[in-house]
């Protein structure tokens, strides 16, 4: 299955229909190739500081994407896209809010990854097609979701050792795994998404995780997006201060 004809519909009902189609699709499964390093991508989207509740359509957003070499952890490509949210956040419809911006950031990478980590769910979703899966279909790229907690699925935490995993299950289907990337730290949820199984998702996250709890590509994408947001916030603040009328000096303050 190639890229979708309609990538990110604004209409919630149309999005739900696309999600059901994606959940039923059977693209060829992907596995990390043996005997050579792979390029692992990561993407992350953030909203302005102080955004409350679900946010609004038109909110400014910053989406970053990076490509990392799995054997060295070296960043080989990075891009940041400044755009606007397509909708408020609604459970099961994150694609409407962040999809366009994330797609733009990943497509801008001069070196495309073999597989992409997305800060979103895959099969753990009301219609079994969260943003991680949807983005992979649009980009025609294998994807894995990584989140701090499940959306709907359940499962016990794994053993308190680095690399330990345990399944997360939704209505009898294993849709991902809890994965403890660092001993004594809270585990992450690793999601099967576009062309990936739970086992492949775990393997990719293992390849992409180094000294930090968060896989390196996602960590770097998050940092880049937040830095871009911070630079814009600082510039806006400076402009606001510069536009204020200068106050007359109060001699009493100089005593």
pLDDT tens-place string over residues 180-231: 999 999 999 999 999 999 999 999 999 999 999 999 999 999 999 999 999 8
Q: Report yes or no: 142 and 196 within 8 Å, Cβ to Cβ.
A: yes
Cα(230)–Cα(45) distance, integer angstroms: 13
Is residue 13 in some structural domain?
no
Tokens of 6: 């309609």
What is the count of structural domains for the chain?
1
User: What are the structure tokens assigned to 247, written together?
Assistant: 């106050």
Within a domain: 145: yes
| Structural domain range at position 197 | 43-237
Q: Would residue 31 count as lying in a domain?
A: no
What tokens were used for 255? 């005593």
The helix/strand/coil state of 156 is coil
Task: Give residue 177's Cα distance to chain centre.
Answer: 17
Return the CATH number at 209: 3.30.2170.10
> Is the residue at 100 inside a domain?
yes
| pLDDT tens digits along 111-169 | 999 999 999 999 999 999 999 999 999 999 999 999 999 999 999 999 999 999 999 99
- What tens digit of pLDDT does each residue of 34-72 get? 999 999 999 999 999 877 678 999 999 999 999 999 999
Instruction: Using a cut of 0.85, tell me whether the model's pTM lies above it.
Output: yes
| Edge-to-edge strands, sheet with 39-46 | 75-84, 60-69, 39-46, 115-118, 143-147, 188-192, 173-179, 165-170
């Amino acid at each position: 299955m190639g890229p979708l004809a309609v990538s990110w519909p604004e209409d919630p009902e149309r999005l739900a229909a696309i999600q059901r189609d994606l959940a039923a699709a059977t693209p060829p499964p992907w596995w990390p190739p043996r005997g050579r390093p792979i390029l692992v991508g990561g993407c992350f989207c953030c909203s302005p500081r102080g955004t409350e509740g679900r946010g609004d359509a038109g909110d400014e957003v910053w989406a970053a994407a990076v490509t990392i070499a799995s054997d060295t952890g070296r960043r080989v490509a990075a891009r940041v896209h400044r755009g606007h949210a397509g909708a408020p956040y609604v459970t099961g419809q994150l694609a409407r809010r962040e999809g366009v911006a994330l797609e733009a950031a990943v497509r801008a990478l001069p070196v495309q990854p073999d597989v992409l980590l997305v800060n979103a769910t895959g099969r753990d979703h009301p219609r079994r097609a969260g943003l991680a899966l949807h983005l992979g279909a649009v980009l025609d790229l294998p994807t894995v979701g990584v989140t701090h907690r499940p959306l709907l699925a359940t499962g016990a935490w794994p053993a308190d050792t680095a690399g330990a995993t345990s399944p997360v299950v939704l209505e009898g289907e294993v849709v991902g795994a809890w994965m403890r990337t660092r001993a004594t730290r809270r585990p992450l949820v690793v999601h099967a998404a576009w062309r990936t199984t739970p086992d492949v998702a775990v393997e990719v996250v293992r390849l992409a995780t180094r000294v930090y709890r968060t896989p390196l590509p996602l960590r770097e994408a998050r940092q880049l997006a937040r830095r871009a947001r911070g630079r814009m916030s600082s510039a806006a603040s400076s402009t606001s201060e510069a536009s204020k009328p200068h106050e007359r000096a109060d001699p009493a303050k100089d005593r």
